[in-house]
Every structure is written in C-alpha cells, then in structure tokens.
Chain A
Amino acid sequence: MHFGPHLLLAALEGLVTSAVLALTALGLSLVFGVMRVVNVAHGEFFMLGAVLAWAISTAISGHPALGFLAALVIAPLIVGAIALVAERLVLRRLNYNPEATIVATIGMLYIIQQLALSFYGPEARPVEPPFSYRILLPWFGYSGYKLSIIAASALLLIATWLVLTRTRIGLIMRATQYDSETAQAFGIPVDRVYGGVFALGAMLAAIAAVLIVPISQAHYLMGQDPLLLSFIVVIIGGLGSLRGTVVAAVLIGLSDGIISMFFSPTLAKIIATLLVAMVLVFRPQGLFGTASR
C-alpha cells in the first residue's frame, strides 16, 4: 500500500477513536464542569458499559443486531443507576470536596474493577457487531460498522449540545455550573442536578463503550486508557466546554491513530501525556476555565 492510502486508513482509525473519545471525555467534562468533581472512576464506568454489553448481547439470542440494540439501551441505564447510587451514598456526603472526592472515586475505581474481575473474569470477550457490511474503497475495504460509530457519536454529541443549549434542563445545568449557590437561591434543586449530571456523565461513557466493544472486545482493565485520554482531551479542550472537548478529541484521536501507525504506541502516549502535563503547568488558567478557585 502506498503512503496516501496508508495515511487515509490511519486517519479513519483515528476518527473512530476520536468519536468514542469525544463521548467519554464529554461525560468527564460535564461532571467536572457542573460539579467540580474529578471523577477518577470514569474509565470504570466505560468498562462497565462494555462488560454489560457483552452480558446483554450474549443473553439475547437471534440476530446480533437485536442483542446489540438491547445493550445500547440497557447497559447505559444500568451504569447510570450505579453512578447515581454511588453519588448519593458517597460523593454527596463528602460535600463535593475536590480532594476527598478524588480519594473516594479512586476507591470506586478499585471496587468496580475488582468486582468485574471476580464476576466477569480476566478474559477479553468479543461482542458481535450488529452488521458486517464492508465499504469497498479503491485501495482497501473498510468496516461499515466503524463508520457508523462515527455517525452515531456525532448524532449523540449534537443531541447533547441541543439539550444543553436549547432546553430547560440544559439551562438549569448551566446555571448550576455558573454559580451553584445563586442557582440554589433561585429554587434550582442543585442537589438533584448533581446526581443527574453524575449519572449522565457515566451513561455517556457507557454508550461510548457499547459502541466500541464490537471492534475492541470487553476486558476488565479496558477503562485505564480511556480515562487517561479523556483527561488529556478535557484538559486541552478546556473543562466544561463542549466545543473544546470535541475539537480536542478529534485532534488527539487523529494524532494518536497516525502516530501509533507510524511509530510506537507507547511513544505516542509518552509524548501526549508529557505535552498535556506541560500545558497544565504553564497554562492552567486556560484549561480549568476562568472560575476562581
């Protein structure tokens, strides 16, 4: 294969990564933006989504699309419910203190990971894609399912954007993010908004995981990389900014896909992590928004 088609393939793979990353990072970004909570367990909600997708799709017989669609609906709901319970039982009692919540979400990370290992096991298990149509390009055939991931992710991002900017719920969320005390004074149930946002963030990660699992298999340690990458995306894009998150996700996903194809994936990760750490050190204000802390 020549360099051009090779690059195109790398770019397509990168776009698939970007699509999943944008959804996952958006969840992390919403939780930080509205609640000021750094959710270290976010990657585990992602993993939980994939593992549940495997469980649901194997429980349902018949056409693979049936099991997949059921997983796409049910898995995020279960993950959202788990996140809601965790938020009510733990984070709320900590008064959303930034440092205490980090310790608590580290605890959640270990608990979820270990439970997945105990009940699901250490194997990586595949989920059958809902359809296996290959699109034939002049140089190579490309999985139609992978392209549909990009489309699904774009639709979900637009939907989230519409909810945030055009609906009453979005207005309430933005008001809480802007100034939670004033929002409370105006009768917004800030407490319930927090619970909802935390569940929503986890659900976005779970949806992303269900979308990716037919091409990458479900494994109990699969939450680690998305967590780190989401952090990177959210920091570069600016926390709480939807547009920034999407742009950064495309940027990181594409460069990750291209660098990983031509160089070592480890080297790609080292460079990305180091760059982001430097961005945080030298431009922290542009990254955590303009909120005073």
Chain B
Amino acid sequence: MSEASPAKAYALHLGVIALLFVLSFMLPDYYHGLLARIMVLAVFAMGYNMLFGYVGLFSLGHAMFFGAGLYGAGLAIIQLGWSVPLALLGGIACGAVLALAIGLLALRTTGVAFMIVTMMFAQVFYLLILYFAAWTGGDQGQVVPQPARVLNLGATSLDLTNPTVRYMSALVLFALVLLVTLAVVRSRYGRVLVAIRENEERTKMLGYDTFSNKLIAVVASGTICAASGAAYAVLFGYVGSSFASVQYSILPLLWVLLGGAATTLGPLIGTVFMYYVIDVTSGYTSAYLLIVGIALILLVLFFPKGILGSIRQRWLGWLP
C-alpha cells in the first residue's frame, strides 16, 4: 500500500454517496427499488468485509448476525408492538450480544475450525428459528404489517413503505456505515487489525492483545450485519428463515470476494455487480445458483483479489 491521502479518499467516498443520492431521481421504478435493497445488503457485505477482509477471519456463519437483526427488529414490531426506532435498536443490540457470545467461543479456534464452528452456530440459530415456529413463523416467515412501518421523528412521521423514503433511509444507513468503516480502517485500530491478518504472532509479540482486538472486530462486524438485517425487516417488511440459512452466510462472502476484500467500496461494487449479473442472466435462465457457483470458482481461481483489489494493485494504490 502506498502513502494514504485522506482528502482524496474522503472525496471519493462522498462522491459515491452523492452519486447514489442523485441516482434516486433518475432511475426507473424497478431499479430504484432494487438499488435500495442492494444498499441494505451492501451494508451486510461491509460488515462481513470488516472481519474477512481486514482481520482475515473467515466466517461461514454471518447469516446469524443478519438474522439476529432481522428477527430482533421484526419480532419486536410483530410480537411486542414496539415502535420502529426502538425495534431497530433492539435488533442491533441482539446482533451485538450474539456477536459477543459467538466471538468469545469461536475465537478460541483458528483457520478451518473457525469456519466450521461459525457455520455450526449459524446452523443452530437457523434451526432454532424453525423450532420456535409458533413465534417466528418458521420457514413461512412473517410480514411486518404496513401500518407499523412508520418512523416518527418529532412532529413529522415518515412512511417507510414509500419508495423514496425507503431509498433515502437505505442510503443514510449505507453512508453512515461506509464512512464509519473508512474511519475505522484508517485509524490506528484498523492498522492493528491488518497487522493481525498479516502476522498474528508478530503482532502479539509487539505487545498487542490480539484476542481482544479480534473480539472487538467480531462484535463490530456482527453489529453492522445486524443493522443491515434490522433495516431490511423495517424497510422491506418481511422476516423469513431463509435469510438465516447457510446461503446468506455465503452470499456476503461472494459479494466481498467479487468487489475486493479489504477495500471499503468493494462490498458495494460486488453486491451491485452480482445483482446486475443475475438480472441480466435471468432473461436466459432461472438457474441463479449456477451463476453463484461458477462465479465463486472463477473468482477464487483467476481473480482472488476481486475487482477493486485488482484496480488498487494495478493503478490506484491509495484506495482505502
């Protein structure tokens, strides 16, 4: 990595956010709705990237953090009748607590064992959702009732089912997480995380407590993913067990690999690109999992750094 230039990096990120803002007024209805969804899911990918890209911890169970946010917020509204802001906070808190517990356990392992352990905990989470079907709706899922999806801010109340409000809410969440991620990876703490990824033993020898640094990263990552899940429940109004299945642990991995691991904008690019590919090919085939599978193999064979990772290596060394 070459010498970082803060002004350039911040200008680029603000530019991306501004572009997404402008796009809201230019896109046709279908893509407008799709991009709102992509932004929420890109937040999920950014949360995954924080752990996978920067710390080098390879989890196959992040669907449980997304699911914790999704169910935490969704069930709070459906079953407990909470208001939207409270439910969002509740969902995020669920994810943070779950991430802390999982981190304390799973970080005792490394490498392949870490992957299998996270996958198994996520599987337990998924099965628990099915087991308590009376409460969660099981594999049918539940719809968050439209009248409940209103955000009351003082005197004004925002109807989150309105497409423009939904888009802007997604953008606010996305922008917030993007800027926080950028600040974190540029901070001293971010450097320590990269150091752990590159050589954990050496980092330990330099006097850093790698376990607690990794634990903080797991909690941060889980919290961001839960925020994405909670926003998804509130904005799109559906809570279902498929979002907690293994597939949703693998999708963020795919998005991050595609966009470029350990790049701040990679998760967004990967998510957009993957949705674009599926959208284009859906005209020819309904075999969308086939595309996911082929993409994973081609990426790992020929393109392990992803789109932004390769661009950074070739031309733009300053990309964060």
Contacts and interface: CB of A to CB of B under 8 A. Distances in A.
Count chain A CB atoms within 10 A of each CB in B106, B296, B304 and give the residue with the most: B296
Contact of A284 (B109, B115, B250, B257): B109
A94 B301 contact: yes
B173 interface: no
Nearest to B109: A284
B127 interface: yes
Contacts of B292: 107, 110
B120 A110 contact: no
A38 B300 contact: no
Looking at chain A's contact residues, the main secondary structure is helix
A114 B113 contact: no
Nearest to A36: B112
B289 interface: yes
A288 interface: yes
Q: How large is the interface on A (under 10, 10 to 19, 20 to 34, 35 or more residues)?
A: 35 or more
A230 to B, nearest CB: 12
Given A38-B116, A281-B106, A281-B109, A107 B294 contact: yes
B105 A111 contact: no
Given A103-B257, A110-B289, A266-B131, A282 B297 contact: no
B253 interface: yes
Contacts of A106: 250, 293, 296
B108 interface: yes
B287 A114 contact: yes
Given A93-B301, A94-B301, A277-B121, A110 B127 contact: no
B111 interface: yes
Interface of B: 58, 60, 105-106, 108-109, 111-113, 115-117, 120-121, 123-124, 127-128, 130-131, 250, 253, 257, 287-290, 292-297, 299-301, 304
B131 A270 contact: yes
B113 A103 contact: no
Given A266-B127, A270-B131, A273-B120, A110 B296 contact: yes
B119 to A, nearest CB: 8
A24 interface: no
Interface string A261-275: 000101101100110
Interface string A83-110: 0000000100110001110111011111
Contacts of B124: 270, 273-274, 277
